[in-house]
């Protein structure tokens, strides 16, 4: 982290205005994706770039007095980029994406959020068991990001790329992605597998990105450019988890991504660049039906004490089991995907 940015962030630890009632704690630099254990207030999973230039998944306590690299040089893994961890509801397994050992292009295409040449894996929380459960075609058109378990652990949803990025085309700037859902089961010798994969958004040639299930398991929350014609004007939607029906748009205008529910399902946190002249993004909160939208952070607002001195992009997050805090990533660069992680304590 650049010294100026680090100093500004640390200065904000307890300086949020009373109107926002937020507390902010710096968690980790050179890290981005993160998820709080659904059963343990003192355990989070996150991915961090190592000295070898590859991301690995760590398990840590929120105060980082405990921090272990779960995937580095793991004998069952390809040992390239390993990232985007999310938890099984039991807290005993982690689902993630891992870059293939061999493919025709460079690893930059498999960085967190890019997803090319990656597959979906699950690993036991002690790191002893590891299985690939979704094998993606080994070509540049295909990729995978954001795998998530359903609240009962019987299904997974993920974002699946079927057309490579076309940087000259605003609709295809990130590539064409769809959202898939499948049954998750345990087979012979307790080896996990997926079956009955279904494309929930067939025929939609645009950018879509799934963020998981609602706490009751009935909906999937995602972003999409289906109605805007530009990946940089993506909006937040929900749809029925059963069959992708009843697509409901929750935001309008601006650039919106990275939505996740509060544990009670009554509210949604997401990122938006609304009112940010530098086009960086901040976290916002709204009711689950899209009403009562209000800003949480002001990282990109020059006249505000939250301002960090440069554009940053708030990313995906995950609530603690108590619902009092969430952990989330902040990107410093949309090109290199470099970032850091903070813990946000919600006010009353």
Reported as a single tens digit per residue, the pLDDT across 164-201 is: 999 888 889 999 999 999 999 999 889 999 999 999 99
Return the DSSP state at 126.
T
* pLDDT recorded at residue 334: 86
Based on the number of CB atoms within 10 Å of its own CB, is 84 exposed (0-12), middle (13-18) or buried (19 or more)?
buried
Distance between CA atoms of residues 348 and 346, nearest Å? 7
Among left, alpha and beta (phi > 0; psi -120 to 50; other), residue 221 is beta
Nearest CA to 78 out of 101, 96, 94 is that of: 101
Per-residue pLDDT reduced to its tens digit, 336-347 = 888 999 999 987
Here the tokens at position 244 are 């992708």
DSSP per-residue letters across 237-252: EEEETTTS-S-EE---
Return the DSSP state at 153.
S
pLDDT surpasses 80 at 231: yes
* pLDDT recorded at residue 97: 99
* pLDDT recorded at residue 337: 85
Distance between CA atoms of residues 178 and 162, nearest Å? 7
Nearest CA to 280 out of 260, 257, 262 is that of: 257
Higher pLDDT: 337 or 49? It is: 49
As assigned by CATH, the class of the 38-149 domain is mainly beta
Cα dihedral sign for 308, 323, 41, 345? positive
Per-residue pLDDT reduced to its tens digit, 198-217 = 999 999 999 999 999 999 99
Distance between CA atoms of residues 266 and 214, nearest Å? 10
Instruction: Tell me which residue has tokens 């025929």.
Output: 203
Distance between CA atoms of residues 344 and 321, nearest Å? 14
Distance between CA atoms of residues 174 and 164, nearest Å? 8
pTM of the predicted model, to two decimals? 0.93
Nearest CA to 339 out of 66, 13, 24, 55 is that of: 55
- To the nearest whole percent, how much of the chain has pLDDT over 90? 85
Distance between CA atoms of residues 83 and 48, nearest Å? 8
């Amino acid at each position: 982290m650049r010294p100026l940015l680090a100093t500004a962030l640390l200065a904000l630890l307890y300086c949020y205005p009373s109107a926002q009632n937020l507390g902010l704690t710096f968690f980790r630099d050179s890290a981005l994706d993160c998820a709080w254990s659904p059963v343990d207030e003192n355990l989070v999973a996150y991915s961090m770039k190592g000295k070898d230039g590859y991301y690995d998944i760590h398990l840590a306590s929120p105060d980082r007095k405990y921090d272990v690299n779960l995937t580095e040089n793991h004998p069952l893994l390809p040992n390239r980029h390993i990232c985007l961890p999310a938890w099984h509801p039991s807290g005993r397994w982690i689902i993630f994406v891992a870059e293939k050992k061999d493919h025709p292009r460079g690893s930059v295409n498999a960085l967190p959020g890019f997803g090319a040449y990656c597959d979906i894996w699950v690993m036991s929380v002690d790191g002893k068991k590891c299985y690939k459960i979704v094998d993606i075609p080994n070509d540049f058109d295909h990729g995978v990001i954001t795998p998530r378990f359903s609240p009962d652990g019987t299904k997974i949803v993920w974002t699946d790329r079927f057309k490579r990025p076309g940087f000259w085309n605003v609709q295809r700037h990130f590539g064409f992605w769809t959202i898939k859902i499948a049954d998750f089961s345990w087979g012979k010798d307790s080896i996990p597998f997926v079956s009955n994969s279904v494309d929930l958004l067939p025929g939609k040639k645009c950018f879509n990105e799934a963020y998981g299930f609602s706490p009751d398991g009935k909906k999937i929350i995602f972003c999409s450019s289906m109605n805007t014609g530009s990946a940089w004007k993506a909006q937040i939607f929900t749809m029925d988890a059963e069959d992708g029906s009843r697509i409901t748009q929750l935001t309008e205008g601006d650039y919106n991504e990275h939505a996740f529910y509060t544990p009670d399902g009554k509210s949604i946190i997401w990122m938006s660049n609304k009112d940010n002249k530098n086009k960086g993004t901040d976290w916002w909160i709204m009711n689950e039906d899209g009403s009562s939208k209000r800003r949480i952070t002001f990282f990109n607002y020059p006249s505000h004490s939250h301002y960090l001195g440069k554009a940053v992009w708030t990313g995906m997050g995950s609530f603690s089991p108590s619902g009092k805090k969430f952990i989330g990533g902040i990107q410093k660069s949309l090109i290199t995907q470099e970032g850091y992680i903070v813990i946000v304590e919600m006010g009353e």
